[in-house]
Amino acid sequence: MAMTMVEKILAKASGKSTVTPGENIWIDVDVLMTHDVCGPGTIGIFKKEFGENAKVWDREKIVLIPDHYIFTADKRANRNVDILRDFAQEQNIKYFYDIIDRSNFKANPDYKGVCHVALAQEGHTRPGEVLFGTDSHTCNAGAFGQFATGIGNTDAAFILGTGKLLVKVPATMRFVLNGEMPDYLLAKDLILQIIGDISVSGATYRTMEFAGETVEQMTMEERMTLCNMVIEAGGKNGVIAADETTFKYLQGRTDKTFESFHTDENVAFYSDRSYDVTKLEPVVAKPHSPDNRELARNCRDVKIDRVYIGSCTGGKISDFLHAAKLMKGHQVKVPTYLVPATQKVYEDLFSLKHDGKTLSEIFLDAGCIEPAAPSCAACLGGPKDTFGRLNEPEICVSTTNRNFPGRMGNKQAQVYLASPYTAAASALTGYVTDPREFM
């Protein structure tokens, strides 16, 4: 029977030869990730249901990452990280990426960073496997040909105790992206285009599979940007077939063997859409919804108060490289906040060069605020002392993934989601700006 890539992954994880969309199956979990916001709740349910002295199902398949509210004086937020640390010690969890020293709002050298990017950098995102995380953007890892999706604390607690979960097999919507990517577009434009087309509920409980020559030519980081935001269309998960680019990225990051799956040619998709990317233009998602799409050039009269470049969606090193290319030799007109997703990205900002200057030099020369230590920072608002948080009803162009009211802090603030190019161009003019003005 013809199957999609995700159906094949789920069939393997359930020990079946075939599965069909809508079928409920028990699957074995390869990796469970939780962080400081949902970890304490998950641990509490695990202890209540499995017993105070219960042991997790596999100490090597759990990844604990404090990343959301880590550089704050907020006592409750700090306590959440302490609970993760205590649990990691009690259970001898192999992968606990501790922040340890938050007294000076800097990460220790061993810290990793925002969970979704850290998972990839540390080799936990392997083709053909099943990854669950207590975070909706766990779908990011679909870029590696993995079945990866967000779950709630109760499901996560059940996995902690058993290593299994009951799932309904999602139907697959395929998105074929063809054509050579214009140099003014980034993956963020493509996913905002798609979400604008199908709406924030257009892929509810379905797999969004991305294929086509444009995707095949993308770097892993750009593929991650596509998959990261499928949840903004309601998608259960996003997925891209693993290829040489994937294998190269994983080299040296994992020594585990994995199996990559491909969608059969004669499979029946729930829907099948094609895009010619050469015909697309830079877009933004206007307040207050990721599907409120508009061409960036049509928003040129929107005066902005700040720009934010960061998060698991837009805080990878390639995102900063794109922003730096545009900013080099220019001056920003509004406060511009830079939050690297991981410690590795932070370090790369000070070593990776473009045109003879490090990215951090380019940003500081352009008048940006000095890069912060890696964390989710203002992507999710957070406590009042969070770096970059919108504490006033300001207008912000952001490379993050959500612009619901209050998402980045103040409920009256307005967030325009954009690519790193568009964010950089907007920083240079103080208005929402199509990056082609600087190319």
Tell me if residue 69 falls in helix, strand or coil.
coil
Pairing outcome for strands 62-65 and 31-35: parallel
User: Is 224 within 8 Å of 190 (Cβ atoms)?
Assistant: no
Q: Return the residue of 187, 198, 380, 427 that touches ligand SF4, per CB under 6 A.
A: 380
Binding mask 33-72 for ligand SF4 (x = CB under 6 A): -----------------------------------x----
Give the containing element (helix H, strand E) for 414: strand 414-417
CB of 140 to ligand SF4, least distance (A): 8
Q: In the structure encoding, which two tokens stand for residue 437, read together?
A: 């003005």
Question: Is 311 an interacting residue with respect to ligand SF4 (CB under 6 A)?
Answer: yes
Q: How far is CA 237 from CA 39, 45, 167, 336, in A?
A: 21, 25, 12, 32
Question: Is 401 an interacting residue with respect to ligand SF4 (CB under 6 A)?
Answer: yes
Question: Is 379 an interacting residue with respect to ligand SF4 (CB under 6 A)?
Answer: yes
Q: Which stretch binds ligand SF4 (CB under 6 A): 26-34, 186-194, 374-382, 412-420?
A: 374-382
Q: How far is CA 314 from CA 24, 99, 221, 341, 401, in A?
A: 35, 21, 10, 8, 8
User: Is 413 within 8 Å of 394 (Cβ atoms)?
Assistant: yes
Footprint (CB under 6 A) of ligand SF4, residues 168-187 = none
Residue 324: Cβ within 10 Å count: 28
Q: Which stretch binds ligand SF4 (CB under 6 A): 94-102, 293-301, 376-384, 411-419?
A: 376-384
Q: What are phi and psi of 308, to 5 degrees?
A: -130, 120
# of chain residues touching ligand SF4 (CB under 6 A): 13
Footprint (CB under 6 A) of ligand SF4, residues 265-294 = none
CB of 312 to ligand SF4, least distance (A): 3
Q: Which residue has the tokens 């770097």?
A: 219
CB of 129 to ligand SF4, least distance (A): 20
For the chain, the helix, strand and coil percentages under 3-state DSSP, each to the nearest 5: 35, 20, 45
CB of 41 to ligand SF4, least distance (A): 16
Question: Is 137 an interacting residue with respect to ligand SF4 (CB under 6 A)?
Answer: yes
Footprint (CB under 6 A) of ligand SF4, residues 98-117 = 114-116
Question: Is 376 an interacting residue with respect to ligand SF4 (CB under 6 A)?
Answer: yes
Question: Is 157 an interacting residue with respect to ligand SF4 (CB under 6 A)?
Answer: no
Q: Considering beta carbons, is residue 287 or 315 the nearer one to ligand SF4?
A: 315
Q: Which residue has the tokens 């404090």?
A: 66
Q: Considering beta carbons, is residue 185 or 417 the nearer one to ligand SF4?
A: 417
Q: How far is CA 89 from CA 80, 96, 98, 437, in A?
A: 15, 9, 11, 53
Interface residues toward ligand SF4, by CB under 6 A: 68, 114-116, 135, 137, 311-312, 376, 379-380, 400-401
